[in-house]
Amino acid sequence: MAGPLTDRHVVLGVTGSIASFKAVDLASKLVQAGALVDVIMTYGATQFVTPLAFRSITHREVVTDTYDVSSEFANEHVALARRADIVVIAPATVNCIAKLAVGLADDPLTTTVIASSAPLLVAPAMDADMYAHPATQENLEKLRQRGVTIAGPAPGRLASGLIGMGRLLEPVDLLGHISATLGRTGDLAGRTIVVSAGGTQEPIDPVRVITNHSSGKMGYALAEAARDRGARAVLVTAPTGLPDPPLVEVVPVQTAEQMADAVKREVAGADALIMAAAVADYRPASAADQKIKKSDDELTIELAKTTDILDTARGDFVRVGFAAESENLVANATDKVRRKSLDLIVANDITDADSGFGSDTNRVVLIDRELQVEELPLLTKYEVGQRILDRVRDLLSPSTT
Ligand code: PMT
């Protein structure tokens, strides 16, 4: 199944930092995501991890020496630069960043950067004082001005024992940054897409809530897919336990009413709203201030209707709803498209284990306002997100940005 990195050519530059060990994991995750990964190591990097480690993972030649005549690099030293869809340097030391800023080309990695027109992503890793040094900050700023993506660093415990800014981002976060950088000039560049996710929680008392089985996976995948096509992705999410997707603006909420307020705020000026959240239709009319004691045999909770967020969110933007159905999928979804006057509804069959709540895959039917029906095969939720965004793109009026 295809993802944002499938068949993409990634040149992974690794420089001499204790964080180089994380680059092995990054290479592995890139390969698992379907990327073709060519690793270039500086001399410093080879002092921390071996070329064999990368070779074993990528099954491709690892470049360490500009003048090794047995290597493809020595014979045609710009080949990797031309082949690259993206050049990623992770970890990038303070020395490497300084060399990039002045445009040096004194090793295979910096030579490749200078020779490549592919997007460049630099993930710094260094001690906090080195990161804070004005020279480093100036160099990073210079790279940013040139359109280079600077991913991280993160705060935390550093190899020196100091706590501060300088940790390499985790490989899973770097994957998000790489996907976003690859897609930054995509067909949704300049657009704002608001996505809702998760199951709202309606408090009964300070301990208990009414909720549902939504894991948030569908909404999160949609937001990532929008990000990977260049959009500003805003994710209004009920509690899910999922990590925040990198470079997605996350707006956490708990209840349907909080989600309604957040969506209303975020859709102002947005291009599309996609409601993948499973929003409670009813909430306790009033939540008890204290924990309800187990006294009587029966407990009755009065419920009040929540705001229909999708129905009330109207404006100059594309409106997409979901319909989670356990029977009469197309008929029930068609009814919702009409009643809520939607541009598109995603009818979600929740009867199979591989579709609907909690699964990594989904089986959906798209129904537009003309009631045209398109049945999609079983796809990953990310792929479903891409197919929905194809439709959103076609529905958007030409961008004035
Ligand atoms: O989160 P996952 O585990 O990945 O599961 C994904 C999903 C099954 C939750 C998702 O694909 C899905 O189908 N979401 C919509 C579920 C739902 O609540 O459907 P509905 O038929 O009850 O609501 C119809 C539409 O109105 C939905 O877009 C819903 O977000 C919206 N709605 C509903 C109630 C309400 N008060 N306000 C709303 O905006």
Structure tokens at 135: 């020279």
DSSP character at residue 246: T
Which atom of ligand 1 sits closest to the CA of residue 333?
Answer: 21
| Position 386 pLDDT exceeds 60 | yes
Token look-up 């909770």 returns 301
Q: Where do the H-state alpha helices sit in 285-343? A: 309-312, 329-339
Nearest CA to ligand 1 atom 24: 323
Interval 147-166 mean pLDDT: 92
234 Cα: distance to centroid of ligand 1 (angstroms): 17
| Nearest atom within ligand 1 for CA of residue 196 | 30
The values of phi and psi at residue 168, to 5°, are -60, 140
- pLDDT at 399 (0 to 100): 61
Which amino acids are annotated catalytic? 212
The DSSP-derived string for 87-105 is EEEEEE-HHHHHHHHHT--
Mean pLDDT calculated for residue range 220-246? 97
Non-local CB neighbours of 317 within 8 Å, separated by 6+ positions: 267, 270, 271, 272, 273
Q: Which residue has the tokens 């599309």?
A: 272
Residue whose CA lies nearest to ligand 1 atom number 36: 308
Q: How many CA atoms lie within 13 A of 318 on its CB side?
A: 25
Protein residue closest via CA to atom 35 of ligand 1: 308
Q: What is the pLDDT of residues 324-364, one digit of tens each?
A: 998 999 999 999 999 999 999 999 988 888 999 999 999 99
Q: To test the ligand 1 pocket, which listed residue (236, 279, 365) has its Cβ within 8 A of the most ligand atoms?
A: 279
Specify the DSSP class assigned to residue 292.
P
Interatomic CA distance for residues 94 and 91, integer angstroms? 10
Q: What confidence tens digit (pLDDT) does each residue in 22-44 have? A: 999 999 999 999 999 999 999 99
pLDDT at position 182 is: 96
Q: 63: which 2 tokens?
A: 């470049």
Share of the chain above pLDDT 90, in %: 89
Q: How far away, in angstroms, is 322 Cα from ligand 1 center?
A: 5
| Mean pLDDT for the stretch of residues 210-220 | 97
Which atom of ligand 1 lies at the shortest distance from residue 356's CA?
8
Among 257, 274, 322, which is best to mutate for testing ligand 1, by the most ligand atoms less than 8 A from CB? 322
61 CA to middle of ligand 1, Å? 48
Using a 6 Å CB cutoff, which residues line ligand 1? 214-218, 256, 275-279, 281, 306, 308-310, 321-324, 336, 348, 350, 356-358
Q: Is 401's pLDDT higher than 60?
A: no
Angle ∠(347,353,358) on CA atoms, nearest 5: 75
195, 211, 213, 214: which to mutate for ligand 1, most atoms within 8 A of CB? 214
Amino acid sitting at position 149:
T
Residue 400 pLDDT greater than 60, yes or no: no
Orientation of helix 381-395 relative to helix 217-227, angle to 10°:
50
At 118, is the secondary structure helix, strand, or coil? coil
* Distance from the Cα of residue 368 to its chain's centroid: 27
- Residue 324 CA to ligand 1 center (angstroms) comes to 6
Q: What pLDDT shows up at residue 335? A: 93
Cβ(114)–Cβ(66) under 8 Å? no
pLDDT > 60? residue 279: yes
Compute, in angstroms, the gap from residue 320 CA to the centroid of ligand 1.
11
Mutate to test the pocket of ligand 1, among 222, 281, 310 (most ligand atoms within 8 A of CB): 310
Q: Measure 199 CA to ligand 1 centroid, in angstroms.
A: 8
The protein residue with its alpha carbon nearest to ligand 1, atom 37, reads: 308
| pLDDT, position 68 | 80
In the reported structure, the alpha carbon of residue 325 is separated from the centroid of ligand 1 by a whole-number distance in angstroms of 10
> What is the model's pLDDT at position 362?
96
Distance from Cα 376 to the centre of ligand 1, integer Å? 18
- The protein residue whose alpha carbon is closest to atom 34 in ligand 1 is 279
Q: Is 321 helix (H, G, I), strand (E, B) or coil?
A: strand
What average pLDDT score do residues 312-321 get?
Answer: 95
Residues 265, 254, 235: CA angle, nearest 5 degrees: 50
Residue 205: φ, ψ to 5°? -155, -175
- Candidates 350, 267, 348; CA nearest to 309 is 267
Picking from 16-30, 69-83, 262-276, 280-294, which range would have the lowest pLDDT averaged per residue? 69-83
What secondary structure letter does DSSP report for 397?
P
* pLDDT tier for residue 159 given thresholds of 50, 70 and 90: confident
50-68 average pLDDT score: 93
Q: At 76, is the pLDDT very low, low, confident or very high (cuts 50, 70, 90)? A: confident
**Alpha carbon of residue 375 to chain centroid:** 26
Measured distance CA(373)–CA(392) in Å, rounded: 15
Please tell me which residue, 1 or 205, carries the higher pLDDT value: 205
Please provide the average confidence, as pLDDT, over all residues in the chain: 95
Residue type at position 26: L
Amino acid, single-letter form, for residue 364: V
User: For ligand 1, what atom is nearest to the CA of residue 240?
Assistant: 1
